[in-house]
């Protein structure tokens, strides 16, 4: 019996590709959109990055598609309604990357608090050697308030880390039932969180309800000393409003692992602002986490194409 054909639109290590070939025939390997599009008419499955658009136009190229296995936990790249209407399973890689994203968030909080980037630039630029005045003092995370917007797996993993550093954690989420082990984290309305937090960290999915969740009005509620961290998705923040708030020092700064769009234009003003740290979407970028994500994405793809229940499907 012939094996189902699948587009593998990410780079997989040779061993994993060999495992995959036991049940699936890869018809394209690698993320080249033109090659992917050319192969989609024959594909029953696609394994792609969670940033690879699987919009209506692309779905229309794939009449035989049965599964979209995203390499990532987000699925805003997929037209979920259209996929669901056609019975296409949309699968993701939840859980395995929560720790890595939470670690990055905590690293950013500590980097902001201790002014790591300014101090490193001061030393590298010769300021220390020239005995110039050092950057201003940092601050202790202990006793400061962290406001977590979106208290799912990643938000909770951030809370665990922040509490270990003595931060008080408040959060905003649709679900407000106490979370086991995190009972001391307090749910609050978004407006209250923005007013109280010394650091606001975003951990929501991107969907129509969270698009521009943080805009001019929300930024205006934040303390002038507060920082915004976004390791979720760029469009959760109204980027034009954020630029304004940062340029006028309405808020102290922002640390952004995600932007809108990605990659940004070379002249994106945020890249050059002194009170902004921009990272190139590295939330899950560790050897161990990426391996676990690849493994789960492959298991999702193969499960659907061989008639079994996938481990992580968002439209069962
Ligand atoms: C995710 O898993 O959604 C990461 O942000 C990669 O896109």
What radius of gyration do the chain's Cα atoms show? Answer: 21
Q: Evaluate whether 5-96+288-305 and 98-278 have a shared fold.
A: yes
Superfamily of domain 98-278: NAD(P)-binding Rossmann-like Domain (3.40.50.720)
Residue 294's DSSP bridge partners are none
- The whole-angstrom separation of Cα 23 and Cα 139 is 55
Based on the residue annotation, tell me whether 262 is a catalytic residue of this protein. Answer: yes
pLDDT tens digit sequence for 197-206: 999 999 999 9
| pLDDT value of position 192 | 98
* For ligand 1, mutation pick of 31, 49, 97 (most atoms within 8 Å of CB): 97
Q: CATH for 5-96+288-305, among 3.40.50.1700, 1.10.287.70, 3.40.50.720, 1.10.3720.10? A: 3.40.50.720
Looking at residue 264, the DSSP 8-state letter turns out to be P
pLDDT in tens, 131-144: 999 999 999 999 99
Instruction: Quote the mean pLDDT of the chain.
Output: 97
Query: Mean pLDDT across the stretch 245-265?
Result: 98
Domain spans, the chain: 5-96+288-305, 98-278
Of the candidates 40, 86, 82, the residue with the CA atom closest to the CA atom of residue 61:
40
As a whole number of Å, the end-to-end CA separation of the chain is 27
pLDDT single digits (tens) 93-116: 999 999 999 999 999 999 999 999
Query: Given the CA of residue 72, which atom of ligand 1 is nearest to it?
Result: 2
Give the Cα separation of 45 and 23 in Å (integer).
12
Q: What is the pLDDT of residues 226-249, one digit of tens each?
A: 999 999 999 999 999 999 999 999
Locate 145 and state its tokens.
């308030």
Task: Output the CA 75–ligand 1 centroid distance in Å.
Answer: 8
d(CA 204, CA 237): 11
- For tokens 């960290």, the residue is 201
Q: Is the pLDDT of residue 1 over 90?
A: no
- Is 233 known to be catalytic? yes
Report the complex ipTM: 0.92
d(CA 145, CA 156): 15
- Residues 213-228: tens digit of each pLDDT: 999 999 999 999 999 9
Is 211 considered catalytic here? no
% of residues, the chain, pLDDT over 70: 100
Q: What is the pLDDT of residue 316?
A: 74
């Amino acid at each position: 019996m012939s094996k189902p054909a699948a587009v593998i639109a990410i780079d997989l290590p040779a061993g994993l590709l060999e495992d995959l070939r036991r049940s699936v025939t890869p018809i394209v390997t690698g993320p080249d959109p033109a090659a992917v599009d050319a192969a989609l008419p024959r594909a029953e499955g696609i394994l792609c990055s969670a940033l690879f658009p699987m919009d209506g136009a692309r779905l229309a190229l794939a009449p035989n598609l049965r599964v979209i296995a995203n390499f990532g936990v987000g699925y805003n790249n997929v037209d979920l309604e259209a996929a669901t209407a056609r019975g296409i399973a949309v699968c993701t890689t939840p859980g395995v990357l929560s720790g890595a994203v939470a670690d990055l968030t905590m690293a950013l909080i500590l980097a902001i608090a201790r002014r790591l980037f300014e101090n490193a630039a001061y030393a590298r630029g010769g300021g220390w050697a020239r005995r110039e005045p050092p950057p201003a003092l940092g601050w202790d995370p202990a006793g400061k308030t962290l406001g977590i917007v979106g208290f799912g797996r990643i938000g909770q993993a951030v809370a665990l880390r922040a509490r270990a550093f003595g931060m008080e954690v408040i959060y905003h989420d649709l679900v407000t039932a106490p979370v086991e082990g995190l009972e001391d984290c307090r749910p609050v309305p978004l407006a209250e969180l923005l007013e109280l937090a010394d650091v606001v960290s975003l951990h929501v999915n991107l969907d129509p309800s969270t698009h521009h969740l943080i805009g001019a009005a929300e930024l205006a509620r934040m303390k002038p000393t507060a920082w915004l961290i976004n390791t979720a998705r760029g469009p959760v923040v109204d980027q034009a409003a954020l630029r304004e708030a940062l340029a006028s020092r309405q808020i102290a700064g922002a640390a952004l692992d995600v932007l809108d769009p990605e990659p940004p234009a070379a002249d994106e003003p945020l890249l050059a602002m002194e009170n902004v740290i921009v990272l190139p979407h590295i939330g899950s970028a560790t050897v161990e986490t990426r391996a676990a994500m690849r493994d789960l994405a492959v298991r999702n793809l193969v499960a659907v194409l061989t008639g079994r229940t996938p481990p992580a499907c968002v439209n069962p």
